[in-house]
Amino acid sequence: MSAVEAPQFIRTIEWDMMDKKKFFPLSMLSSFSVRCCLYPLTVIKTRLQIQRKNHMYSGMIDAYKKIYKMEGFGGLYRGFWISSVQIVSGVFYVSTYEGVRHLLRQDPFTAQLDSRIKALIGGGAASVVGQTIVVPFDVLSQHLMVLGVSTKHGKLVVDKMGMNPLGLTLDPGRSRAFIAAEIVRLIYQRDGPKGFYRGYVASLCAYVPNSALWWGLYTFYQDEMVRVLPDWVSHLLIQAVAGTMGGFTTTVITNPLDIVRARLQVQRLDSMCNAFKVLWVEEGLQMFTKGLSARLVQSACFSFSIILGYETIKRVSINDEYKSFVRW
């Protein structure tokens, strides 16, 4: 891009520049495809976080081998259809993120804020909305994820790692829908409606900072890379790499909070404080790295894929009047 063209370059495609009829369906399709491909990493990460010390799995590769060997390919997708409702929450998440940034740009008091601060605020607000919708499905899908199934004495039983606080034992041959319905019944029977929002505060504490930091760092890394790299480097590639770096940094910072969230939702601990105490007694300093390798791989792959799809869809959905100002 020449010096004359440079000022016309749209670095960030804003909410009011896009055709929403194109954006929403393409965004949902992209989100579903990415989650479908990367879901096994979510299962592995959750099981590593829930297990005590390294009683069952010594690491990410070991977990993959054992799950595949004992439960087959389906074990890596346990709870997927319940978790896939996140593509709906994703629509609200993206709408909130873009909508908040749009409002901040329009308001005279906030219009002068740095783009990174706007992204950080938008990311935090989006996570609050997203988590409010998705936590009940998270609770259910995580119970399904840790349901390490094997056949013993003619019964379908859960592994002996204490990863199944509901004490679920089912007859073999039951469908996944039946298993999910049984988990819903047991959660409601024990805790009532609030059981489906177990760990909600912990989810907010884990994911709101995570989302805010990720979007803020994504914008920061993107701006810095655009500044130092030559014009011929693909802007879409810069954005994908910036998203990956943002996800990597955020994951390292927020990992203990994510473990606490998972344990509150699955192991039915009383509070975040109690969960931290139990985690510290069981793991010591390893609580900061527990499940981190799987989470880093998941975050890097997820961030790269999501940003690649998200920014591509924004370019495809942009109104005709702005297309000549977009750099691929």
The per-residue pLDDT for range 210-246, each reduced to its tens digit, is: 889 899 899 899 989 988 888 888 999 999 999 999 9
Rounded mean pLDDT of 198-204? Answer: 77
Q: How large is the average pLDDT for residues 299-322?
A: 87
pLDDT of residue 173: 56
CA distances from 234 to 137, 241, 302 (A): 38, 11, 20
Average pLDDT over residues 278-299: 74
- Report how far apart, in Å, the C-alpha atoms of 293 and of each of 1, 56, 218, 238 are: 39, 16, 21, 24
Q: What is the pLDDT of residues 46-73, one digit of tens each?
A: 777 777 666 677 778 888 888 888 777 8
Chain centroid offset of residue 221 CA = 20
> Domains (ranges, CATH) in the chain?
18-132+198-325 (1.50.40.10)
pLDDT tens for each residue of 7-43: 467 778 888 888 888 888 888 888 888 888 888 888 8
> Is the pLDDT score of 270 beyond 70?
no
- Residue 153 has what pLDDT? 43
Give dist(CA 210, CA 130) in Å, integer.
Answer: 13
228: DSSP letter: H
Q: How far apart are CA 145 and CA 80, in angstroms?
A: 8
Give dist(CA 299, CA 78) in Å, integer. Answer: 19
pLDDT tens digits, one per residue of 137-189 = 877 777 776 665 443 443 434 444 444 455 555 455 566 666 777 777 777 77
Report which of residues 3 and 251 the model is more confident about.
251
Tell which wins on pLDDT, 39 or 256: 39
Average pLDDT over residues 293-316: 85
